[in-house]
A = this chain, B = another copy of it.
Amino acid sequence: MTSMEKGQIKDVDGFNAYLASRFDGLSKQLKKIARFVLDNPIDTALDTAAEIAGKIEVQPSSLIRFAQALGFDGFSEIQRIFRGGLVQQLPGYSANYSHRIEKLKEGTEDTASSDHPVLNVFIDANIDAINALRADATEAKLNEAVGYINKARHVYVVGQRRSYPVAIYLYYMMRNLDVPTYLLDGVGGLLPEQANQIGPEDTVIVVTFPNYSDQVISIAHKAAENGAKVVGLTDRLVSPIVKLSDVYFLSDKVEVSGFRTVAGTMCLAQALMIALGLDRETAGENA
């Protein structure tokens, strides 16, 4: 990978590989340009140098410097490569994927082609899961949850097994936002003991999906009994923690060949953290 030379560049992939191999040696601004070029092949191919420069917030001359730093005569030469790549992507106008799902059902889609049919269906399922959040994660519910987090003395986060990554994420983000948060991670089998201190001034975020962990449910029980606020992240109304929660969110009901989607819940967790972040920003401005 080190001995990449300009000569062998014919297509966009080749260019990108070459650019990556040279990236470290570029100046700060040229890196900025490099990132844009890597991320926006369509703009790079079609816009004028001045337009591209405008989007990156850089002088047009810097684009030429960028091209020359990589050994090209000018930026136009790079654009030629990207235009060529653009045309190659065109003939198969496979932009809408609904007809690909149809094909998959009929078995007409070529399994040996570049992409994996199971993966594609799985991607669709994840997109569905995320889209479902638009209806479920309403502003009112998010604000309610944010309110519980803000006025809590301590926030506890609990999730086991499949839900543990989500719990970790919430813990990490809230720590970054200066929320006094504790992760009930059950290290050393001490989950019940860790939960003993939960009181009426605290908030517990409970993440649980089938098969619902008994330990997690019993923590939710204890928290509700002790008068703590409970925020539930789970999959459906019949989940055991719904009736224990002051506010709950439903996500990732979907399952594809035995694999439950997880992106919806991650996205939900992030949405909650963004709502929290924005709230704190606004509160800070008013102070």
Interface residues of A (CB under 8 A from B): 1, 16-17, 19-21, 23, 31, 34-35, 38-40, 42, 46, 83, 86-98, 111, 114-116, 118-120, 122-123, 126-127, 130-131, 133-135, 137-140, 142, 161-162, 164-166, 168-169, 172, 236-238, 242-243, 253, 256-259, 261-264, 266-267, 270-271, 273-275, 277-278
Contacts A161-B172, A169-B262, A172-B162 given; indicate if A116 touches B91 (C-beta within 8 A): no
The one of B35, B115, B165 that contacts A168, using a Cβ cutoff of 8 Å:
B165
**In the A-B complex, the 5 residue pairs with the closest CB atoms:** A165-B165, A263-B263, A20-B237, A116-B139, A23-B238
Give Cα A228 to B140, complex, Å: 50
Is the Cβ of B161 less than 8 Å from the Cβ of A165? no
Report Cα–Cα, A257/B237, bound state, in Å.
32
* Partner pick for A116 among B23, B92, B142, CB 8 A cutoff: B142
Decide if B164 touches A168 in the complex (CB within 8 Å). Answer: yes
A45 to chain B, nearest CB (A): 9
Q: How far is the CB of A218 from chain B (nearest CB, A)?
A: 16
Shortest distance from the beta carbon of A136 to any chain B beta carbon, whole Å? 10
By a CB distance below 8 angstroms, the chain B residues around A21 are: 243
Q: Give the interface centre of A20, A93, A139 by most chain B CB atoms within 10 Å.
A: A139
Contacting pair A134 B123 (CB below 8 A): yes
The A interface, classified by DSSP as helix, strand, loop or mixed, is helix
Contact B115 A126 (CB under 8 A): no
Cβ-closest chain B residue relative to A88: B95
A87 x B134 contact (CB < 8 A) = no
Chain B positions within 8 Å of A138 at CB level: 114-116
CA distance A227 to B53 in the complex (A): 43
Residues of chain B within 8 A (CB-CB) of A256 are 274
Are A89's CB and B91's CB within 8 A? Answer: yes
CB < 8 Å: which of B1, B19, B169 contacts A243? B1
A119-B275, A243-B1, A267-B263 as given contacts; A94 in contact with B94, CB under 8 Å: no
For residue A253, which residue of chain B has the nearest CB? Answer: B39
Q: Which residues of B contact A162 (CB under 8 A)?
A: 169, 172
Q: Contacts A91-B94, A138-B114; is A38 near B238 (CB within 8 Å)?
A: yes
- A125, closest chain B residue (CB): B267
Contacts of A96 in B (CB 8 A): 94
Query: A259 touching B270 by the CB < 8 A rule?
Result: yes
A237 to B169 Cα, complex, angstroms = 25
- Could you tell me the distance between the alpha carbons of A268 and B267 in the complex, rounded to whole angstroms? 14
A90-B86 in contact (CB<8A):
yes
Complexed CA–CA distance, A50 and B95 (Å): 26
A90, B260: Cα distance in complex, Å: 30
Q: Which residues on B sit within 8 Å (CB–CB) of A35?
A: 236, 238
